Amino acid sequence: MTSHRIILDCDPGRDDALAIALTLASPEEIELIGITTVAGNVPLELTQRNARFLCELCGHVDVPVHAGARRPLTRAPVTAEEVHGRSGLEGLEVDEPSMPLQDQHAVDFITETLRASGEEGVTLVACGPLTNIAMVVSDAPKVLPNVRQIVLMGGVSRVGGNVTPVAEFNIHADPEAAAAVFACGRPITVFSLDATYQVLSGPDHAGRLESLGGATAQRLACLLRPFGGGAKGRFGPGHTPLHDPCTVAWLLRPHLFEAQSVPVVVETEGAHTLGATVVDWWGVTGEPPNAQWVTKADGDGVLDLLIERIARL
């Protein structure tokens, strides 16, 4: 029996691709009910295509893929092609998928799945801007008790942002959506840059995956190598942080991480702080904690898990 029933909401995206592959390679522990996509790293037309392509590549054409929000709740879209390439999966040759995109909008799919889940509930794993999840919070608040937990990649507190000095891309792309999700009242675990910058793929990791895996793993191995200038060389030659797979790794191996319960709010108005995740580490606001903020990650352990599992595909 699987331990986690999840919907994976994402914007593939090179590191999203690894999160999808890790999920699909772990069916004993994770039941992937469906993948929903959102505009983020690249526009929606590419995120939904990439999700379907990855399902086919990993041999799981049975997983439904639903497209969601084309733009943030109130702002103009932003993308991250400088990090992920024009295709979103730069370095990986993307074939046009034959599996269909589902007709149902992602928000409706999430809502109906939650409504039907009963006491067992569903975990929402969010690896992109939080627009789809925020729309569920706004449009269907009665289904929120069936959200078992939200595990998200986004935000930063201590190490500096990757799009502004204080903001991380997923939160900055739609800060109003992020603010709504953090205020929704459900259990939230946050993998910010504070944690994901501790999970660095180095020059040997792609080679390990290529040597251990078959044809699928060998194609995916390129995603363990850096592309573009998003990190501006801060991690050293050949190293790249693996953000989104941390969310899935936490479901599989929570002992690889440490977290602290804290109050978190999202800045939606500041001229210099838009998209900042403000973490009250010392309880100065008197507000109750609304999230588990992951502070430490065993980078070697996460990479060993990722390589071992994807090599199975």
**Residue 236 confidence class, pLDDT cut points 50, 70, 90:** confident
What angle do helix axes 14-24 and 245-252 make, rounded to 10 degrees?
Answer: 20
User: Percentage of the chain with pLDDT > 90?
Assistant: 93
CA–CA distance, 7 with 209 (Å, rounded to integer): 26
* Boundaries of domain holding 189: 4-310
Mean pLDDT for the chain overall: 96
Q: What is the pLDDT of residues 5-37, one digit of tens each?
A: 999 999 999 999 999 999 999 999 999 999 999
Q: What is the pLDDT of residues 290-302, one digit of tens each?
A: 999 999 999 999 9
**Residue 119 confidence class, pLDDT cut points 50, 70, 90:** confident
CA–CA distance, 87 with 82 (Å, rounded to integer): 11
- Cα within 13 Å of Cα(129), Cβ side: 31
Higher confidence at residue 235 or residue 245? 245
Tell me the CATH number at 248: 3.90.245.10
CA–CA distance, 177 with 136 (Å, rounded to integer): 10
CA–CA distance, 181 with 237 (Å, rounded to integer): 36
Q: How many structural domains compose the chain?
A: 1
**DSSP per-residue string spanning 217-237:** HHHHGGGGS--SSTTTTTT-T
CA–CA distance, 66 with 85 (Å, rounded to integer): 23
Residues with active-site annotation: 243
Mean pLDDT for 132-143 is 98
